[in-house]
Amino acid sequence: MDFNDTAAEAEFRATVRAWLEVNAADYREPPEENWKLPEFIARSKAWQAKKHAAGYTGITWPKMFGGQGLTPMHSIIYGQEESRFHVPQGLYSIGLGMCIPTVFTHGQPEVIQRYVPKALLGEEVWCQLFSEPAAGSDLAGIRTKAVKDGDEWVIDGQKVWTSFAHASDYGIVVCRTDPSMPKHKGLTMFIVNMKAPGVTVKGIKQMSGGSDFNEVFFDGVRVADSHRLGAVGDGWKVALTTLMHERLAVGGKPRYAPGYETLMKLARGVDAPDGNPAIAASDVRQKIAQTYINDQGIKLTQMRALSALSKGQVPGPEQSISKVVVAKTMQDLASFALDMAGGDGFVAGADADPELAKLQGSYIGSAGLRIAGGTDEILRNIIAERVLGLPGDMRPDKDTPFNQAVPA
């Protein structure tokens, strides 16, 4: 066993590294203060165009759609190398990671021709409009409706938790087109112009104070039938393609999140209740061990997946445990460390210790991470049902027409 690249991987890594050394030279250090949105967008677009010219966009996409036709391992190696720099990241991850693969899998040729190249080049930004106020974990409970009117569809309703909707040019939106069918059957997917009349985007301020998400309102928004993705009524199947691409993204502990080292460092400067240094306290040491086991365990589990990819195999189901472990571990560690710091762990703002401020951010952020992209509970359902083969949850509304309410 080894953790080394194959010869071909090492060669690709060296090429990428050499290119980044020259082209990402401005991004060696993190920005002194966070970029405002217009600057972030401008920098993202410039960086994407640079990557595109060098052939580092759409690494795993088929060549016929402008991609490089390479393996997931190439894409991962590029990502690893790029992450050593502080280039602008995130603006395209949903569009290119999820939306556009759905477009080129289910779109008509002229639609693919029109949208895919501009998206890859970074000229146009995309968002994904799936979740609704009443359709989160129960995603198929979508109420936003699309009604056929000649060669067009008219969309009315509301979406929520839409990342980068405020910066997007286009989105893929799943709508209910036949409420007389059971919930999974009456859905259809469309491409929607985010600048079209009737689209209103409103930012959501989160518990953390940040605004990563939006509400999006549709009021009589018209979409050409040519912009339908997949057959009428196949929206659920199409959405699963999109979500499958989401799952391919290897998730791990966020880069900024404190780990066991933070607790170790902190415990050297704090007293335990018995007056001895906290680093000598058994509960602190057990917490350090548990945090290492969880975080490092996920990292190693991902290496198992990478190892499979590197050999051209399909990774096993084990990486499905990643987010559910990482998010809760982050919360537990932050909570434990802030407890240990007493009142200092509570003082925020300019008076806060920077290390403790980071833990406060991690404590608050982890509460969101436990929900985003599948709650802890839904992820446990997925592990139990898809990996262990247990029967699905009871779903009394699964087979009834959507417009016939099931009593709660």
- The residues of the shown chain that bind other proteins, judged by CB under 8 A, are 1-6, 9, 260-261, 264, 282, 285-286, 288-290, 292-294, 296-298, 300-301, 303-304, 306-308, 310-311, 318, 321, 324-325, 377, 379-381, 383-385, 387-394
d(CA 31, CA 34): 6
Q: Which is nearer to other proteins, 350 or 408 (by Cβ)?
A: 408
SS3 251: coil
d(CA 378, CA 124): 33
Q: Which is nearer to other proteins, 25 or 314 (by Cβ)?
A: 314
Q: Which is nearer to other proteins, 177 or 294 (by Cβ)?
A: 294
Calculate the dihedral angle through the C-alpha atoms of 250, 325, 344, 361, rounding to the nearest 10 degrees: 30
The encoded tokens of residue 261 equal: 């080292």
Phi, psi (rounded to 5 degrees) for 159: -115, 165
Candidate list 9, 152, 215, 246, residue with the active-site label: 246
d(CA 112, CA 96): 13
SS3 275: coil
* Shortest Cβ 6–other proteins spacing (Å): 8
Q: Which is nearer to other proteins, 192 or 306 (by Cβ)?
A: 306
Cβ neighbours of 292 (radius 10 Å):
16
Report the Cα 407 to chain-centroid distance in Å. 34
The encoded tokens of residue 123 equal: 């000229």
Angle at 216 between CA 151 and CA 89, to 5 degrees: 110
Q: Which is nearer to other proteins, 37 or 280 (by Cβ)?
A: 280
The yes-or-no answer on residue 110 being catalytic is no
d(CA 284, CA 289): 9
* Shortest Cβ 93–other proteins spacing (Å): 24
* Shortest Cβ 291–other proteins spacing (Å): 10
* Shortest Cβ 136–other proteins spacing (Å): 16
Query: Would you give the DSSP letter of residue 135?
Result: B
* Shortest Cβ 303–other proteins spacing (Å): 5
* Active site residue ranges: 246
